[in-house]
Structure 1
Amino acid sequence: MYVGRSYKLIDFALWSRRSVIYMVVVSGLAVAAYRLPGIAGFSVPWSVVLVLGTTVSLVAGFKNSQVFTRSSDALQAFTQITASSRLWSNFCRDFLDAPTARQLIYRHIAWMTALRFSLRRPMPWESMARAANIEYRRRYRIHEDASSVGDELRPLLAEQAEDVLKSPQPAIALLELQSVQVNALFKDTKLPPQIYGELTKLIRDFHDQQARCDRIKNNPYPRQYAIVSSMFVMIFCTLLPFGVVPVFADMGKLGGALGSIAIWLTIPFSTLLGWAYMSLDQVGESSANPFEGNANDVPISQICRDIEIELRSGLGETDLPKPLLPVNDIAT
């Protein structure tokens, strides 16, 4: 997630420069087609381009609105995980002996670790493999790229780590272990009924939030809408210079300072308009999967690290992991 005041124009321009190059080439072809003997005057009626542009605006706006909803849902899920984690820690520390509280809290940290590694795994429809995103990712780092779920779970779970890692879904296995231990503590009368009920509700909430995150991770933004939107944007941007070129050609016929060079203004103005549309689609596509690790995704690594520091500090520990600070104003 970008946490600076604003993206620099040069950074955004470099990220989206491929659309600029495409528009310059297509605009040059439009000018050439308009002036070549045999097909001189070739253009697309401006009314056609205008109607298509209106349609593209509606489709692109719908897509970006839905993408924003997905990102908001993802952030809300981790906001709820943060709040529930604090309650879990408080109940464990206040009503259980220190070793048991530590075990339950450490297992909860392990659950968050397994969850974030699961959410970082690549999916076929995600956009991190695109050249623009690969280049931009060099500006920051993803914590999960430099570690593995096994290396991080073993210090937290001790002898239980290997059994958990054998599970196809370690995060679910950890929640099941939490439930088993809480039930055992209640049967042994080591937990008051009211606290048992609260801990059970928190485990259910962790299940709910994980299911919410899994739904976003495992189900892409409907590809029919995503593909149609991208196709319409590309078609519009390709036809745009062919609709604009006669406007500037007629301007050149008026004479004056512009004269014969007026038609060449098709290239910068078409490029500017096309870049706006293509960049809007590129931003939407790159934000559709809020856990993959793009610069605008939910910073799940930082959130989980902050929760871990807070929970371990509550146990009285002083040897705490370092916070994950933003790199180049990007929190991950």
Structure 2
Amino acid sequence: MITTASPRLSNIVSEVWRPLAALFVWDCIVTAVYIFAPFTAPSLPLTLFGSALALFLGFRDNSAYERWWEGRGLWGLMINASRSLARGARSMLPDEARDLKRTIVLRHVAYVNALRCQLRKLPADGEVLRFLSRGEAEPALQRTNIANGILDGTSRRIDDARKAGMIDTIQQAHLEGLLVDIANAQGGMERIKNTPLPNQYRFFPTFFTRLFCVLLPIGLVETLGIATPIGSTIAGLMFLAILQIGDDLVDPFANTIHDVPLNAMCRTIEIDLLQSIGDEAPPPLTPEKGVLW
């Protein structure tokens, strides 16, 4: 996630330079043809086209931002539920169950990091083994959904505590309710990750934006003359940038600089949970070159 007041120009250029360069070359071709072989350009209602396209792109960007914000909201729920789980385990389990309290906390820290890796399509084994022993982690690592496997194991340990008389059924139900909230948040994240925007939302905005950029110098050349490449390229940049914004936000877990800052939020959970059991916690993550991962 970019944390600076405005994105750096280099970030914008790096994302749209290819279509922008092609647009500039096309603008130069149209301008050169007009100068050396003057022609009367057809009267194109570019204002009408541009207004309709801007509305289309704005609607698409709003849909993409809603996905991004929902992803951020689900991780906010995950943070709150994680704190509640640690607090419940610390207060409900008896003092002699200190090892079980620590196990539940470490398993959950491993869980959120495994979920982060799954959403970003990164290997999760190394992150899980940072907090759990091989024997503790192996049943979950053998499953397709590693994060869900860790959560299932935590639920079984809570049930074992109930069978051992450490907690009663009401306390178990409370802790299980927190695990349900966590599982629901995970399901929402997986839904966003695995369900792209409909093809129409992706194809038509791109097609019409490029078509508009092709028509733009033809409609401007009689007015701007030799300055057409500059004027047309700047106007095209605005539409290409708006198009790119939608592409950047549509997947909030894509492991790019436009991501929801999963690393930072997992570190927040790690700090809160480790401190809840009296362990030393790492420092919070800070932005690197204006980007919080």
TM bracket (short chain): over 0.9
Partner of residue 80 from structure 1, selected from 77, 80, 93: 77
| CA distance in structure 2 between the aligned counterparts of 1:204 and 1:194, rounded to whole angstroms | 15
Q: Does 1:26 align with 2:26?
A: yes
| Alignment-derived partner of residue 12 in structure 2 | 12
| CA distance in structure 2 between the aligned counterparts of 1:44 and 1:312, rounded to whole angstroms | 69
Q: Does 1:285 align with 2:247?
A: yes
The residue identity in structure 2 corresponding to 1:264 is: I
| Alignment-derived partner of residue 107 in structure 1 | 107
Q: Answer yes or no: is the 8 Å Cα contact 2:264–2:285 preserved in 1.
A: yes
Deviates more, 1:13-22 or 1:215-224: 13-22
| CA distance in structure 2 between the aligned counterparts of 1:57 and 1:154, rounded to whole angstroms | 49
Q: Answer yes or no: is the 8 Å Cα contact 2:74–2:188 preserved in 1.
A: yes
| Alignment-derived partner of residue 260 in structure 1 | none
The residue identity in structure 2 corresponding to 1:188 is: A
Q: Does 1:43 align with 2:4?
A: no
| Alignment-derived partner of residue 324 in structure 1 | 285
Q: Give the secondary-structure state (helix, strand or coil) at the position aligned to 1:4.
A: coil
| Alignment-derived partner of residue 172 in structure 1 | 148
Identity of matched residues, %: 26
Alignment of 1:243-258 (within 5 A): 243-248=219-224
| CA distance in structure 1 between the aligned counterparts of 2:241 and 2:89, rounded to whole angstroms | 49
| CA distance in structure 2 between the aligned counterparts of 1:199 and 1:71, rounded to whole angstroms | 29
Unaligned runs of 5+ in 1: 122-143, 249-262
| Alignment-derived partner of residue 309 in structure 1 | 271
Alignment of 1:1-332 (within 5 A): 1-37=1-37, 40-47=38-45, 49-96=46-93, 97-121=97-121, 148-158=123-133, 159-248=135-224, 263-318=225-280, 320-332=281-293
Q: Answer yes or no: is the 8 Å Cα contact 2:155–2:176 preserved in 1.
A: yes
The residue identity in structure 2 corresponding to 1:163 is: P
Any idea what the Cα deviations from partners look like across 1:282-309, whole Å, max 9, x if unmatched? 1211221110112121011110012112
Let me know the Cα RMSD of the aligned residues.
Answer: 1.7
Residue-pair matches, total: 289
| CA distance in structure 2 between the aligned counterparts of 1:156 and 1:78, rounded to whole angstroms | 20
Could you list the structure 1 runs, at least 4 aligned residues long, displaced by more than 6 angstroms after superposition: none
Q: Answer yes or no: is the 8 Å Cα contact 1:19–1:279 preserved in 2.
A: no
Q: Answer yes or no: is the 8 Å Cα contact 1:19–1:275 preserved in 2.
A: no
The residue identity in structure 2 corresponding to 1:69 is: E
Deviates more, 1:211-220 or 1:11-20: 11-20
The residue identity in structure 1 corresponding to 2:77 is: Q
| CA distance in structure 2 between the aligned counterparts of 1:289 and 1:107, rounded to whole angstroms | 27
| CA distance in structure 2 between the aligned counterparts of 1:297 and 1:152, rounded to whole angstroms | 19
Q: Answer yes or no: is the 8 Å Cα contact 1:216–1:289 preserved in 2.
A: yes
Alpha-carbon distance, 1:22 to partner: 2.3
| CA distance in structure 1 between the aligned counterparts of 2:215 and 2:42, rounded to whole angstroms | 7
The residue identity in structure 2 corresponding to 1:85 is: S
TM-score (normalizing by structure 1): 0.82
| CA distance in structure 2 between the aligned counterparts of 1:204 and 1:51, rounded to whole angstroms | 51
Unaligned runs of 5+ in 2: none
| CA distance in structure 1 between the aligned counterparts of 2:116 and 2:215, rounded to whole angstroms | 43
Q: Give the secondary-structure state (helix, strand or coil) at the position aligned to 1:156.
A: coil
| Alignment-derived partner of residue 254 in structure 1 | none
Q: Answer yes or no: is the 8 Å Cα contact 2:116–2:263 preserved in 1.
A: yes
